[in-house]
Amino acid sequence: MAIRVLVVDDSGFFRRRIIAMLNSDSRLEVVGEASNGLEAVVQAERIRPDVITMDVEMPVMDGITAVRRIMAARPTPILMFSILTTEGARATLEALEAGAVDFVPKSFAGITQDADTVARMLCSRVVAVASGASPARTRSVSTPVAGEGEREAGVVAPPPRRKRSGRRYEVVAIAASTGGPTALPRVLGKLPSTLPVPLLIVQHMPANFTPAFARRLDQQCAIHVKEAEDGDPLRPGTALLAPGGKQMTVRCRGGRAVVCIHDGDPELNYKPSADVTFGSLADQCSGAVLSLVLTGMGADGREGVRLLKQKGATVWAQDRESSVIYGMPGAVAKANLTDEILDLDSIGSNLAQLFH
C-alpha cells in the first residue's frame, strides 16, 4: 500500500511541483493539499494521511501553529520545508520542537534546475519518516516514550549493564541526525553545569542552522553549548557543536586537545560526519571516550565507533522505540558495537549519574 501524503504550501507553484515529485514515486500517493495551516489541520483530521509535508511561512495559520494543532489532535509524521536563512533556521527549530520529524531545504532554484535530485531526496525522506516515525516517536514531549516491545530483526539484545564505577572518560562524543534536534535537549538538559568532561556533538544540519541550534541548546541546558570554531579547546562542562558544511576533528596542540574545523573530503556524504569526528578521537583519546549514537537516518558513526571500540571506548546507542529513525543507532547495534542500548531519557539520566 502506498504511503499517503498531504502537501501543505501557500505557493501553488511549489504545491504542484512537490505533488508531481511525490506522485512520481510508486511508494507514495498524494491524497490531499492545503494552502495554509488551518486548511492543513482540517485536512489532516479528515484525510488522516501517513505523512504531511508542511511549509513554515503561510497566511491564516503558520506551519508551526499547524504542527502543534495536528500533533495535539492526531500525531502524524510531519516533514517541514525550510528556507535556508537565519530566520528560517529559527522557525524550523521551533517546528521541530513542536513535533515535526525532520526538514528539507526549500529552494526555488533547486526545485526548477535540479528537479530530479530534489525529487529523489524528497521521496526518500518521506518514505523514511513514514516507515521510521510512529506518532509516539514524533511527539515533542519530555516524558519517556513507551516502548512497543518490538525490536528490528537482526539487532542483538542489549548486554547487561556494566558497572560504571571507576571508569574514567576524557570526552563524551554524540552523533545524531533525523530527530536529533529534539533528542539532544532531552539528553543535554539533564547534565549539570559542573560536568567534569567536555562534549563533542555531530548533528547533521545545514551550515546556517548550526549557529541557531547551538544558541538554542545553550539556552535550554545548564552546560555551555557553542558552535565549534577552529582551535577551540575541549573544556569540561562545554559542548562543541560541529558546524554544518564542515568536518570537526580533534588534535593536540601545545599539550592540550583542540578541535580543528575544516572542509574535509569532498566525497563524503555528510558534513559534518560522525565517522570523521569519532575517528579522530580514536587517534587522540584512546579508550577514554564515551560515544553516544542517537536517532538518525543512515549509518554515519558506525565506522567511527568501530575505531573507538578497538581502542577500548564505551558506546551507548538509543533504542529503536524512542528513536525517530532507527538508522544510525540501529547500524551500530547490528554491528554488535554497543555496550548499552538505552531509551532516550535513560541516556541523559545515566550520563548525569555517571559523572555525579
Separation CA 261–CA 264 (nearest Å): 9
- Is the backbone of residue 149 left (phi > 0), alpha (psi -120 to 50) or beta? left
Separation CA 191–CA 203 (nearest Å): 18
DSSP helix/strand/coil, 32: strand
Q: For the chain, where are the E strands, in sequence order?
A: 3-8, 28-34, 51-55, 78-82, 102-105, 171-176, 199-203, 224-227, 238-241, 247-253, 256-262, 289-293, 314-318, 340-342
> Rg (Cα) of the chain, in Å, rounded?
20
Question: How far, in Å, are 14, 29, 73, 127, 130 from residue 52 at the CA level?
Answer: 15, 12, 14, 11, 10
DSSP helix/strand/coil, 150: coil
DSSP β-ladder status, 3-8 and 28-34: parallel
Torsional sign, CA 268, 269, 273, 275: negative
329: nearest Cα among 190, 200, 174:
174
Cell of 175: 552523533
Spell out the residues 6+ positions from residue 11 whose beta carbon is closer than 8 angstroms to its own: 55
DSSP helix/strand/coil, 100: coil
Spell out the residues 6+ positions from residue 55 whose beta carbon is closer than 8 angstroms to its own: 8, 9, 10, 11, 14, 63, 80, 81, 106
Question: How far, in Å, are 79, 124, 315, 336, 341 from residue 131 at the CA level?
Answer: 13, 11, 26, 23, 21
Question: How far, in Å, are 47, 267, 342 from residue 335 at the CA level?
Answer: 40, 24, 16
DSSP β-ladder status, 3-8 and 51-55: parallel
The catalytic site residues sit at 177, 204, 300
